[in-house]
A and B are shown apart, each in its own frame.
Chain A
Amino acid sequence: MRYGPIKAWAVAASVFAVAPAFAQKMPDIGFKSVGRGAPLAQSVYDMPQEVGPNWIRGPGAQAGPDVKKPFPMNGYLPADVPKSYKPLPRDIFTSDDFYKDKDLWTDPRYFRCNSPQATEYQRGVLQRPGVNTSDKIEDAPWGHCEISLKREAIVSPYGFKTAQEHYEALKAETTKRGGPSVYTYANFPNAEWNGVYQRPGGANGAATQNNWYWGRHTQIPTVLSVLTPKYQEYMVQEAYHQVRGNALWPSTFCWPEGFMRRWYPAAVWEHYIIATPDLVNVRAGVARNFMQDTYIGREFNMEDVPKGGVPRLGPAVPRWYGDTIGFWDKDVLITWTSNIQGWKSHSEFEFSSKMQSIEIYTPIRENGKFIGLNHETILYDDEALATPVRIVRNLNKINNFSDTNEVPYPFIECVQTIFNVNGANTPLTPGAKLEYEMPDMYGRPWAKIWAESFEQGMSGPEDTSEDLFNFENR
């Protein structure tokens, strides 16, 4: 990873040095664990501002009269960029072929120091108006080059190479502690888990769940640095098209959200948790449903692992949200998810069907009262990730299911109203007709649309994958 060219990184380091080290608290688990509860190397809550660029606007704020600058900007218009930034002669906004620019991807200036989420702000695909108010893409504003969450705060603090190692170590540790705890209905101590947990972006939800994966506090190269070359390319491909307004988000088309969107604020609202001795069910969703069923006390079928397969519970067919097993260490739930369908998470990185997670749900108590769950996740994916990464968030409980003001989970059946018309997301009304091309849902359908609509003449990716159906190769 080349951070060297930018002196701004030194500035960033000094900013972070004065911030409190562990402002986003991990729960005090009462002992030093081999694989859970490690403090965060840095919390997004310690950062004075987001990377940007983004409009600074409060809820309900109305745009000012200057259409070129309707709100104050967190970031810089090209004309206002600090001299120390030294723009590159060619960047993602001026390039006609991002594939050729691979050597530049590690330099934040290639992305004009935009955060991953800012790629969705540029042309207003996430929130209008876009921060680039010009009709020229090369007028795109800059974020803050001196700001980024440290890579160390993203990568796993544990030494495990695989989810299996991690799970086995946690299980061995729990065994030494007298566990795993085996409960029945007669002695189940975690009834207080049942209920509804605050949505991430809700009034105070952002204050409990915000983390690097929301994409507001990192430079894009920081995230790229945890990816393998192929998945770096996928992420840059999306960034290139998003800053031009050509976003292709799964939920836009009622496609599955995919496993990793569960950690993204816009994809989930309240979390609904049902806890029993045998099964813990976590539901959430906005455009589609996320369902995590943790089967307590189960063991994975490992027969495919020596052949390159993945642990699983049922048939050797990847599941959109995987299979999950777990065990209790008293009131802490430790889980392992595998057999996941690889997919994408827009503004963050794609992941493969090798993705596995270790997730730990730890009660948060205030004066002894249960107020929520700390959710620590370590992600392993040897195809997509150069190193395991960690996401930590806190889920604040807001309701019991029996509360009169509790709104039940609305199980979502997505009805498609937006269609891809010549590469553009187009809302259509009933009766409208279009030429529809059936997507290959297991072949990165978003990439095919970009390639056909917006990548004519580009050098294109080196396709090193084996074409299973090309009999000439046999």
Chain B
Amino acid sequence: MTTKNKTLAALAMAVAIAAPAAAQQSPQIDFKSVGRGAPVMVDAAALPVVGSTWQGGPGGPGVGPATNQPRTFVGSAPPGESPKGITPLARDMFTSDDFYKDKDLWSDPRYWRCNSTVAIEDAWTGRGTVGDKGPGTMAWGRCDADYPREAIVSPYPFKTAQEHWEALKAETAKRGGPTKHTYATVPGEWTGRYGRGFGDTWYGARKMQVSTMMSLLTPKYQTYLAQETYHQGNTNVAHWQSQYCWPEGFMRRWHAAAVRDHYITVTPQQVQIMTGVARNFITNILIGREFDMSGETPRLGADVPRWYGETIGFWDGDTLITWTANLIGWKVHAGFEYSNKMQTIEIYSPNHDASGNFVGLNHEAIFYDEDALVEPIRIVRNFTKSGELTEDAPYVFIECVQTIFPVNGKATPLTPGSKFEYEVLDMFGRPWSHLWEEYYEQGMERPEEEDIFNFENR
């Protein structure tokens, strides 16, 4: 990290730590655990939005109904300008013709003009801040704000999900568990609908510099993140999985735009969580099961990765502790890609109000992925129970009907009867990347990747 970067990072950290810490509720736990319930260091909701954006205005986007007030700019420099006190880089993602060559600049927030991945994803939309003269006139976000990396990485010392799981299980055993529930004792009050909001987390990516997200990733996955960010903000070619009815993938479950209400069904043997918007996310937690450890990754069934993995769990009283493995690596737009090695430890703890009434669940997730992550990370969020399953609209099981297709490498809405040249994509070979490479990276110096099917390399 350059001296300039260190200064920016320190400034951002100072802003973050100064924010109130309690709003993003930490799990309610009455003992110090080896691997759960550590307080959330920084509440994302208390931090300012990092990226540049337009708010409000007649008929314009923003919070609340349209008014006759002019729209307002949020950021440090509007389109076409530079922020005071910041020296822009000679070359950044908005001016570069080859982001691969700029690898040494990716850790500098100025390469992204101090924008978040979400602000860059929005760059070409109504609230986006690309100026009239194209990406080179992209506005600047706040260089003095950031979600601190220290609050993202796991507060626990474990290197693997297995270590973490075993430590939690041992701790629970010492506490007299795991608890074997029956219908009469299982927390049936968990069964119900949980409102679509789950609180602002760092993973919403509106409060975080791109360079901070980069710092969580291994070099290969940094390249993937840079590639997506470049195309979303520079070439204006987004490839989101849900627009093509591709699977959302495991980690989109934590992204606010991919899920709405969560429907939870609790039984002593299994806990099921359903949610989704464009596609379905289903989490089946099998209580009391053990993984088969004989293959590449822990698993329950066949040695074939599953889009949403396989999950085992146990109860410690009214807390549910789970381990997910055997999932398919994929992407999260405005987030980062992850590999088949991704595993999670997730803890669901009941939240109670001052009177002791159950009001929802704290969901703490620690992510392990030695291919994608340089160290484990954590996301904490809170689900508020909004009703019983005996009330209101049921979960809508989604069958996505594709209406947007990649035509000449660009997402294009079509109507029935439209004809175009369709290329069959390799769904297990980063299909989004293929589209970018084929149509929008001509002449770029892309690093070589290992070709497992090239026998000359054997």
Inter-chain contacts of A181 with B (CB < 8 A)? none
A411-B282, A437-B418 known; A401+B393 contact, CB < 8 A: no
- B421 engages A404 (CB within 8 Å): no
**Closest residue on chain B to residue A278 by CB atoms:** B389
- B397 engages A291 (CB within 8 Å): yes
Q: Confirm or deny: A429 has a beta carbon within 8 angstroms of a beta carbon on chain B.
A: yes
- B301 engages A408 (CB within 8 Å): yes
- B280 engages A323 (CB within 8 Å): no
Inter-chain contacts of A295 with B (CB < 8 A)? 389-390, 394
- Which of A7-15, A185-193, A378-386 contacts the other chain? A185-193
- A281 engages B272 (CB within 8 Å): yes
Q: Confirm or deny: A432 has a beta carbon within 8 angstroms of a beta carbon on chain B.
A: yes
- Which of A62-70, A228-236, A269-277, A361-369 contacts the other chain? A269-277
Give the distance in Å from the alpha carbon of A434 to the alpha carbon of B417 in the complex.
15
**Closest residue on chain A to residue B184 by CB atoms:** A186
- B417 engages A256 (CB within 8 Å): no
In the assembled complex, the CB of B437 is this many whole angstroms from the nearest CB of chain A, namely 13
**Closest residue on chain B to residue A401 by CB atoms:** B269
Q: Confirm or deny: A441 has a beta carbon within 8 angstroms of a beta carbon on chain B.
A: yes
Q: Which of B188, B266, B397, B429 has the most chain A CB atoms inside 10 A of its CB? A: B397
For chain B, what secondary structure do more than half of its interface residues adopt (helix, strand, loop), or is it mixed?
loop
Give the distance in Å from the alpha carbon of A436 to the alpha carbon of B418 in the complex.
8
A185-B183, A401-B269, A436-B405 known; A410+B421 contact, CB < 8 A: no
A186-B183, A441-B401 known; A194+B390 contact, CB < 8 A: no
- B310 engages A279 (CB within 8 Å): no
Pick the residue among A188, A428, A438 that contacts B415 (CB under 8 A).
A438
- Residues of chain A from 269 to 323 with CB closer than 8 A to chain B in the complex: 274-279, 281, 288-289, 291, 293, 295-298, 313-315, 319-321, 323
Pick the residue among A186, A278, A408 that contacts B310 (CB under 8 A).
A408
Inter-chain contacts of A429 with B (CB < 8 A)? 424
In the assembled complex, the CB of A254 is this many whole angstroms from the nearest CB of chain B, namely 8
Inter-chain contacts of A437 with B (CB < 8 A)? 417-419
Inter-chain contacts of A195 with B (CB < 8 A)? 269
On chain A, the number of residues with a Cβ less than 8 Å from chain B's Cβ atoms is: 60
Q: Confirm or deny: B31 has a beta carbon within 8 angstroms of a beta carbon on chain A.
A: no
Inter-chain contacts of A411 with B (CB < 8 A)? 280, 282, 284, 306-308
Give the distance in Å from the alpha carbon of A421 to the alpha carbon of B400 in the complex.
22
Q: Map CB proximity to A onto B282-318 as digits: 1 under 8 Å, 0 otherwise.
A: 1010111110000000001110101110100000000
- B265 engages A435 (CB within 8 Å): no
- A278 engages B269 (CB within 8 Å): no
**Closest residue on chain B to residue A432 by CB atoms:** B424
Q: Confirm or deny: A430 has a beta carbon within 8 angstroms of a beta carbon on chain B.
A: yes
- B186 engages A185 (CB within 8 Å): yes
- B286 engages A276 (CB within 8 Å): no
- B390 engages A404 (CB within 8 Å): no
- A321 engages B287 (CB within 8 Å): no
- A314 engages B286 (CB within 8 Å): no
- B397 engages A438 (CB within 8 Å): no
Q: Confirm or deny: A184 has a beta carbon within 8 angstroms of a beta carbon on chain B.
A: yes
For chain A, what secondary structure do more than half of its interface residues adopt (helix, strand, loop), or is it mixed?
loop
Q: Confirm or deny: A203 has a beta carbon within 8 angstroms of a beta carbon on chain B.
A: no
Pick the residue among A187, A274, A293, A415 that contacts B394 (CB under 8 A).
A293
- B426 engages A430 (CB within 8 Å): yes
In the assembled complex, the CB of B268 is this many whole angstroms from the nearest CB of chain A, namely 7
Q: Confirm or deny: A474 has a beta carbon within 8 angstroms of a beta carbon on chain B.
A: no
- Residues of chain B from 406 to 446 with CB closer than 8 A to chain A in the complex: 414-427, 429
- Residues of chain A from 402 to 461 with CB closer than 8 A to chain B in the complex: 402, 404, 406-411, 413, 415, 417, 419, 428-441, 443
Give the distance in Å from the alpha carbon of A417 to the alpha carbon of B431 in the complex.
14
- B421 engages A276 (CB within 8 Å): no
Give the distance in Å from the alpha carbon of A401 to the alpha carbon of B307 in the complex.
20
**Closest residue on chain A to residue B185 by CB atoms:** A185
Q: Confirm or deny: A162 has a beta carbon within 8 angstroms of a beta carbon on chain B.
A: no
Inter-chain contacts of B301 with A (CB < 8 A)? 407-408, 410
Q: Confirm or deny: B358 has a beta carbon within 8 angstroms of a beta carbon on chain A.
A: no
In the assembled complex, the CB of A370 is this many whole angstroms from the nearest CB of chain B, namely 15
Pick the residue among A278, A323, A431 that contacts B423 (CB under 8 A).
A431
Q: Confirm or deny: B247 has a beta carbon within 8 angstroms of a beta carbon on chain A.
A: yes
- Residues of chain A from 327 to 346 with CB closer than 8 A to chain B in the complex: none
- A274 engages B424 (CB within 8 Å): no
- Residues of chain A from 154 to 191 with CB closer than 8 A to chain B in the complex: 184-188, 191
Give the distance in Å from the alpha carbon of A187 to the alpha carbon of B185 in the complex.
11
Give the distance in Å from the alpha carbon of A321 to the alpha carbon of B395 in the complex.
11
Q: Map CB proximity to A onto B126-152 as digits: 1 under 8 Å, 0 otherwise.
A: 000000000000000000000000000
In the assembled complex, the CB of B400 is this many whole angstroms from the nearest CB of chain A, namely 9
Q: Confirm or deny: B191 has a beta carbon within 8 angstroms of a beta carbon on chain A.
A: yes
- Residues of chain B from 352 to 395 with CB closer than 8 A to chain A in the complex: 388-390, 393-395
- Residues of chain B from 252 to 297 with CB closer than 8 A to chain A in the complex: 265-270, 272, 279-280, 282, 284, 286-290
- B183 engages A191 (CB within 8 Å): yes
Q: Confirm or deny: A400 has a beta carbon within 8 angstroms of a beta carbon on chain B.
A: yes
Pick the residue among A321, A402, A409, A410 that contacts B269 (CB under 8 A).
A402
Pick the residue among A278, A293, A428, A443 that contacts B388 (CB under 8 A).
A278
In the assembled complex, the CB of B385 is this many whole angstroms from the nearest CB of chain A, namely 13
- A274 engages B267 (CB within 8 Å): yes
Inter-chain contacts of A275 with B (CB < 8 A)? 267
In the assembled complex, the CB of A74 is this many whole angstroms from the nearest CB of chain B, namely 34
Inter-chain contacts of A417 with B (CB < 8 A)? 424
Q: Which of A404, A410, A432 has the most chain B CB atoms inside 10 A of its CB? A: A410
Pick the residue among A293, A298, A321 that contacts B390 (CB under 8 A).
A298
Pick the residue among B186, B399, B418 that contacts A256 (CB under 8 A).
B399
**Closest residue on chain A to residue B414 by CB atoms:** A438
- B397 engages A279 (CB within 8 Å): no
Closest 7 CB pairs of A and B: A185-B188, A436-B422, A440-B416, A314-B393, A430-B426, A413-B247, A256-B399
A interface list, Cβ under 8 A from B:
184-188, 191, 194-195, 256, 274-279, 281, 288-289, 291, 293, 295-298, 313-315, 319-321, 323, 400-402, 404, 406-411, 413, 415, 417, 419, 428-441, 443
B interface list, Cβ under 8 A from A:
182-184, 186, 188, 191, 247, 265-270, 272, 279-280, 282, 284, 286-290, 300-302, 304, 306-308, 310, 388-390, 393-397, 399, 401-403, 405, 414-427, 429
Q: Please list 27 pairs of residues, one from A and one from B, whose beta carbons are closer than 8 Å in the complex, sorted by A's number.
A: A185-B186, A186-B183, A188-B183, A191-B183, A274-B265, A274-B272, A278-B191, A281-B272, A293-B395, A293-B397, A313-B393, A313-B394, A320-B399, A401-B286, A402-B269, A408-B286, A408-B301, A408-B310, A411-B307, A413-B247, A413-B307, A433-B423, A435-B420, A436-B405, A436-B420, A437-B417, A438-B414
